[in-house]
């Protein structure tokens, strides 16, 4: 749905010194990897510093933070869709902001989740559990594809409210369940 928003509802014209260039909508696909490369060292250092200070959040809290950032990214899209409905094609900054917050969420979830799988999986099932982790991404992408199939059917502001509410609800549920999850993790941080 973000690619459709870029293609149909975003002003892709870059204007510099009287020169106009129409940027391809596919360019936005490069923002996530760019933000990962730029921000991953910061996140790595942040988790280390927090750990040294005895203030590193538990894995469920990191997951909840990641889902919270995802929700914020979709709130940006809700606002962008509302602006589009009022005045037509919107600034590229809406999508850039959404990708930025989604990447922050990914950096709280993906490396932390991979680490958790390797720590919690029994040694002889480590590869199987890692495959299961990636299989969950596969399933999520299929669900996301079906959901994006409704992009032209629904009001776009409402469309982006659904993943916002889902991510926010999951984050709240994780925070509520954190004490029990930490107990089930038997000291694995």
CB 14 within 8 A of CB 23: yes
166: left (phi over 0), alpha (psi -120 to 50) or beta: alpha
pLDDT, residue 123, reads: 87
Identify the sign of the CA torsion 4, 1, 137, 73.
positive
The 10s digit of each residue's pLDDT in 37-46 is 999 999 999 9
Ranges 37-51, 62-76, 92-106, 133-147: which has the least confidence: 133-147
Total-model pTM: 0.91
> What is the three-class DSSP state of 79?
helix
Q: For the chain, which domains are there? A: 2-184 (1.20.1250.20)
Nearest 5°: CA angle at 12, between 74 and 77? 10
């Amino acid at each position: 749905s973000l690619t459709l928003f870029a293609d149909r509802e975003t002003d892709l014209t870059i204007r510099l010194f009287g020169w106009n260039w129409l940027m391809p909508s596919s360019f936005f696909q490069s923002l996530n990897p760019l933000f990962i490369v730029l921000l991953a060292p910061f996140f790595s250092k942040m988790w280390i510093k927090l750990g040294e200070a005895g203030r590193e959040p538990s894995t469920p809290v990191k997951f909840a933070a990641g889902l919270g950032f995802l929700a914020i990214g979709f709130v940006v899209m809700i606002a962008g869709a509302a602006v589009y409905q009022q005045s037509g094609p919107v600034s590229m900054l809406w999508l850039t902001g959404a990708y930025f917050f989604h990447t922050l969420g990914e950096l709280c979830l993906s490396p932390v989740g991979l680490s958790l799988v390797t720590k919690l999986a029994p040694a002889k099932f480590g590869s199987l559990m890692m495959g299961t982790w990636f299989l969950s991404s596969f399933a999520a992408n299929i669900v996301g594809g079906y959901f994006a199939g409704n992009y032209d059917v629904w009001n776009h502001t409402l469309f982006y409210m659904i993943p916002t509410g889902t991510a926010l609800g999951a984050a709240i549920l994780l925070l509520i369940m954190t004490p029990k999850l930490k107990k089930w993790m038997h000291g694995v941080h």
